Structure 1
Amino acid sequence: MDLLRWLFDAQIPVGGSVLILREVLGNIFGLASAFGGMRRKVWAWPVGIVGNLLLLTVFLGNVFGSATPATLWGQAGRQVMFIAVAAYGWHRWKQGRSAGGGNTAVVPQWASNRTRLILAASLVAGTAALTPLFDTLGSYPPVWADAWTFVGSLLATYGMARGWTEFWLMWVAVDIVGVPLLFSAGYYASAFMYLFYGFFTLAGFFVWWNASRKGGTAAGHEQQPASVETAFPDPRVKL
């Protein structure tokens, strides 16, 4: 209990302000998860879940009686969503690794044009639908930005679970809106980490793009994940 109390109260002095230790740790776990995702490792999912649990306690603000800058219901809600989708992705990638008998769990592939249109429409429609709800809950303004990051994060995480290369670009769209929101709300550790994520996700996109080309998946033709052995007949071909 003493360790848990310390974790909730610990802060890191930076200049004339402080950073919440849970926020810093949560983003470090998130970064490790993103790196594992780029390398297509199953451990990326449980590591990400730990980070989500830490950040959930941060973004709920005063719900936990902590001195966080503001309550962001969209940011908090997406941590719950991350955990749920991560459980799905964890299971799916474990199946992929077992079927392929290798170290990588998923073969990157391009989503179909129809799927891309559905993802884009879902992002816009979901943002419009959730903005009034988050506004009622008292989320930090601009509320639409909080809703955008929530919906975009949901779609990006699902895309990662399915192995769609485009999920990296969904994260870029989330970061473009999410970074200014986090800065304005006073979550500086998360804002800087998400700014770094923006460059990291671009790198991840090109890594998966290259892997999808080696796997022989043509753009615009979605396919079910194949085994690693089928997609990479030469065992030396890996990231």
Structure 2
Amino acid sequence: MSLIEALFDAELHIGSATILWREIIGNAFGIGSAIAGARRSVWAWPVGIAGNALLFTVFMGALFHTPQELNLYGQAGRQLLFVTVSIYGWTQWRRGARDSGRAVLPHWATARERIAMIAVMASGTIAFAWIFDLLGSYGAWAEAWIFTGSILATYGMARGWTEFWLIWIGVDAVGVPLLFRAGYYPSAILYLVYAFFVLWGFAMWLRIQRRTPQGV
């Protein structure tokens, strides 16, 4: 077995539970991305992408032979879409940093943008629940809610909408019970930890907005 294979398959045993180290590390990258995002650092995006790549292999459990042997298509699929949206966000924040010295200026979405978000959330959840159910995903409706909300939140972060933090709270409220039920304990626990960073990030962005009318 090569060193890469050994690291890829490394496990942590707690009682009768078997946990992959790449699940822990992937979620740690996610928390790092949240902290960098709260600080409006461009590094939030590449750090997040690294975590997405690791977690894709975790949530396609039957394909990559994880201890759970479950395919959570919504969780896995959103990692791939995260990478796509994150490249867009990385580009937007780098451009902002170059043009104004700030990667992003936090602001509320407009009324029209909020209506669009609600419409996308509702229609996306219904559509993806149907798709994930056909694929045999574990917890299709919960997966669809998490999948749609995660993409909306990532896109909102790229656009500088302060609401994106609130969308993450809605995603975590459904994601934590699903992951505990599916046996992905590190992800569930780290999602709980992540929720605290989300609240902290929301408070930071709100404070920046209130500092001046322009949010700088």
- The two structures share one fold, judged by TM-score above 0.5: yes
Q: Secondary structure of 2:153's match?
A: helix
Residues 1:121 and 2:124 are matched in the alignment: no
Provide the aligned C-alpha RMSD in A. Answer: 1.3
Report deviation, 1:7: 2.2
Shift of 1:152: 0.1
Amino acid at match of 1:12: L
> What displacement does 1:130 show?
0.9
- Asked if residue 5 in structure 1 is aligned to residue 5 in structure 2, the reply is yes
Q: Distance in 1 between matches of 2:165 and 2:11?
A: 32
Q: Distance in 2 between matches of 1:195 and 1:78?
A: 19
Residue by residue over 1:91-123, the C-alpha shift from the partner in whole angstroms, topping out at 9 and shown as x without a partner, is 00000001123xx41110110112112111211
Aligned to 1:184: 181
Runs of 4+ aligned residues of structure 1 deviating over 4 Å after TM superposition are: none
TM-score by length of 2: 0.96
Read off the aligned partner of 2:86 and give its amino acid letter.
A
Deviations 1:141-194 (A, max 9, x none): 2x1000100000000000000000000000001001111001100000000011
Same amino acid, percent of matched pairs: 53
2:174 aligned with 1:172:
no
Q: Which blocks of at least 5 consecutive residues in structure 2 are unaligned?
A: none
**2:155 aligned with 1:154, yes or no?**
no
Distance of 1:91 and 1:144 partners within structure 2 = 32
Q: C-alpha offsets along residues 173-217 of structure 1, whole Å, 9 cap, x if unaligned? A: 100111100110000000001111222211111110111112414
Corresponding residue to 1:140 among 138, 144, 147: 138
Native 8 Å contact 1:70 1:186 kept in 2: no
- Matched to 1:94, the amino acid is R
Q: Gapped runs of 5+ residues in structure 1?
A: 218-230, 233-239
More helix by share: 2
Give the aligned partner of residue 105 of structure 2.
Answer: 107
> What secondary structure, in the 3-state scheme, does the structure 1 residue paired with 2:26 have?
helix
What amino acid is the match of 1:198? A
* TM-superposed deviation, 1:69: 4.4
Q: Which residue of 2 aligns with 1:202?
A: 199
Question: Which residue number in structure 1 is paired with residue 46 of structure 2?
Answer: 46
Number of residue pairs aligned between Structure 1 and Structure 2: 216
